[in-house]
Chain A
Amino acid sequence: EVQLVESGGGLVQPGRSLRLSCAASGFTFHEHAMHWVRQAPGKGLEWVSGINWDSGSTAYADSVKGRFTISRDNAESSLYLQMNRLRSEDTGFYYCVKEKWMVVAGGWFDPWGQGTLVTVSS
């Protein structure tokens, strides 16, 4: 069974940092691009960042560019999101998702993890 399990969420003060992790299993991790998608409470889905299979290319939403860094460890089948200079508007559930293709190319996301909640508040 394909599974994605996020961890690392929590309550953090504005301006501080947090690192999210995603443990993948049930598929060949290094054959897929991976992404983070977030959802603010009561709001819609927002793509955050994506990374190619070999970490050779990354992409970010303008809202997080320069503050967030996506990375992966294929040997550990793990995806990460380093979030710096956090703002209140970064609050929400963060989902780890597997893309159909090896590169960030507009493929579909399946499956989705259960999400980890990040709350940025003083």
Chain B
Amino acid sequence: QSVLTQPPSVSGAPGQRVTISCTGSSSNIGAGYDVHWYQQLPGTAPKLLIHADKDRPSGVPERFSGSKSGTSASLAITGLQADDEADYYCQSYDTSLSGVVFGGGTKLTVL
């Protein structure tokens, strides 16, 4: 059971928009800690996608965006493409655990 809760899977057709939620609690996201998102393509190491809730590293397309409100955060992907098919993870810090926490991961399928 992960401290941050993500849906196991989401799907969408090419060109559509999908969102992935990341739900935490008052000891992590709700405490004001930043949320970061990673994309893991099949057979590769994770790659930073969004940092500090909504900022994109250079090279990440504008189709990817992040937001946060209360004890939850979301990753939105617009204009879905076939090569967006991957696992997506959220990450934050938990003050009760005194450590880093990840969501369980969401598998995105492009139909």
Decide: B34 and A45 in contact? CB cutoff 8 A: no
Decide: A46 and B102 in contact? CB cutoff 8 A: yes
| A116 nearest CB across to chain B (Å) | 11
Given contacts A44-B2, A44-B89, A45-B89, contact A110 B101 (CB under 8 A): no
| Candidate in A45, A59, A110 with the most chain B CB atoms within 10 angstroms | A45
Q: Does B61 contact A (CB under 8 A)?
A: no
Across-interface contacts of B57 in A (CB, < 8 A): 110
Decide: B99 and A47 in contact? CB cutoff 8 A: yes
Binds A, one of B11-19, B44-52, B68-76, B78-86: B44-52
Interface size class on chain A is: 20 to 34
| B102 nearest CB across to chain A (Å) | 5
B48: which of A35, A37, A45, A108 is its contact (CB, 8 Å)? Answer: A108
A31 to B34, CA, bound (A): 20
Main secondary structure of the interface of B (DSSP, over half): strand
Residues of B within 8 Å of A, CB-based: how many? 27
| Candidate in A105, A108, A114 with the most chain B CB atoms within 10 angstroms | A108
Across-interface contacts of A100 in B (CB, < 8 A): 51
Residue of A nearest to B31 (CB): A106
Which residues in B have some Cβ–Cβ distance to A below 8 Å?
2, 33-34, 36, 38, 40, 45-48, 51-52, 57, 87, 89, 91-93, 97-105
Q: A45-B105, A104-B99, A106-B93 are in contact. List 8 more A-B contacts (CB 8 A).
A: A37-B102, A45-B40, A45-B89, A47-B91, A47-B99, A105-B93, A106-B33, A111-B48
Q: List 28 A-B contacts (CB under 8 A).
A: A44-B89, A44-B104, A45-B40, A45-B46, A45-B105, A47-B91, A47-B99, A47-B100, A50-B99, A50-B100, A59-B99, A62-B97, A95-B45, A104-B100, A106-B33, A107-B34, A108-B51, A108-B52, A109-B36, A109-B38, A109-B46, A109-B48, A110-B51, A110-B57, A111-B47, A111-B48, A112-B47, A114-B45
